[in-house]
Structure 1
Amino acid sequence: MKRLFLLILLLISINSFAQKKQNPEEKEILLKVQQFFDALEKQDTVLFKSILLTNGQVWAISEKENVAKYSMRQFSDFMRTLINPARVIQERMLSSEVKIHNRIAMAWVPYTLDISGKFSHCGVDLFTFLKTDEGWKIATAAYTIEPEGCSHFGSRPE
């Protein structure tokens, strides 16, 4: 009985310390998300064009006084609005969850965003990906804009 108990305890311990390994496609998708953040900070349209589908869209969702506001831009318009040497946008991934099925995938990414070194907001990015002959490309990016209530993301104290 004592041996059985020790065996069960050992198996539970091993299972508790086991880490989930990312498969290569998950790594590639998270690399594309990081490249998106890097392109945003560097205002690098060449990098954006290498990771985005040409006809993709960006959706922003914000809420003020319980009224939701939605806006959509094509990736081409989104890239044009980024060019502003007077401001630096830094977006940081807080965590991530990736789901993949055949040639479609999504990344759920809570984030914080600073503009020129000052906190702007937090939220969740939802990237949808399609696998092309060139690899995974971002088809859409949707994000929430949450200037307050970021502590539930584990990002900043309120």
Structure 2
Amino acid sequence: MTKKITYLAILMVSLTYAQNNSEIAVKEAIDTFFEGFHKGDTVLMKTVMYGKFPSQTTFKDNNGNDQIHKGNVSDLLVTLASKKPDQKWQEKLLDYHIQVDGNLAHAWTPYEFWFNDQFSHCGVNSFQLFNDNGQWKIIYLVDSRRTDDCKPK
């Protein structure tokens, strides 16, 4: 009986350890994505992207109607590569809520967006990632954007 309990304890610890390692690796992929974003380095961003994946943004229009803009990450890369050198974009991630199931992961990251050191808006990023033979890659991104109910830090 003691052997069974020991075996179950070791199994549970190793499963928890593997889950934590995956969560850390997912966080690192997202951090690399934003490191490239802040530097304007689209090549670095592509190292954690799985090709040209879809992206969407949700927001309220000027009349208060819910909207969704559909695009793909290539639009973001083009915009980033062509931004003016005197523009500073900073997206501050406030937290990471990561779930992993095998080779699929989801990360929910609340954020604040700052433009030239001025608060612009807040929201949440929702990333889907795929473990591509040992490397987590982003396969989908949707974010929300709002200016109300934001508490800039």
TM category (shorter chain) comes to 0.7 to 0.9
The answer to whether structure 1 residue 62 and structure 2 residue 33 are counterparts is no
Q: What does residue 73 of structure 1 align with?
A: 71
Task: Give the structure-2-normalised TM-score.
Answer: 0.80
What is the deviation of 1:137? 0.2
Residue type of the partner of 1:80? V
What is the number of residues matched between the two proteins?
134
Deviation of 1:55 (Å): 2.3
Q: Secondary structure at the match of 1:51?
A: coil
Deviations 1:99-139 (CA, angstroms, capped at 9, x unpaired): 00111110001010101111110100000001112511000
CA RMSD in angstroms comes to: 1.8
Take 1:86 and 1:57, find their aligned partners in 2: how far apart are those partners?
A: 29
Partner of 1:108: 108
Larger radius of gyration: 1
- 1:25 maps to 22
2:48 maps to: 51
Counterpart residue type for residue 71 of structure 1: H
Unpaired runs of 5+ in structure 1? 1-19
Partner of 2:128: 128
Letter in 1 for 2:95: S
1:78 Cα deviation from its structure 2 partner? 1.6
What is the CA–CA distance in structure 2 between the aligned matches of 1:99 and 1:124, rounded to whole Å?
16
State the partner residue of 1:13. none
Contact 2:57 2:70 in 1 (8 A): yes
**Paired amino acid for 2:99:** K
CA deviations on 1:13-44 (whole Å, 9 max, x unpaired) are xxxxxxx9871110111111112221111111
Contact 2:34 2:45 (8 Å CA) reproduced: no
Structure 2 match to 1:8:
none
Rounded Cα–Cα distance in structure 2 between residues aligned with 1:106 and 1:146: 22
Q: State the distance in 2 between where 1:81 and 1:42 align.
A: 13
Q: Give the corresponding residue for 1:148.
A: 148
The SS at the match of 1:109 is strand
Q: Distance in 1 between matches of 2:134 and 2:44?
A: 14
Q: Where do 1:7-18 residues align within 5 Å? A: none
Q: TM (normalized to structure 1)?
A: 0.78
- The answer to whether the 8 Å contact 1:91/1:112 transfers is yes
Moved over 4 A (4+): none
- Percent same amino acid among aligned pairs? 26
Contact 1:37–1:92 (CA<8 Å) still a contact in 2? no
**Letter matched to residue 25 of structure 2:** E
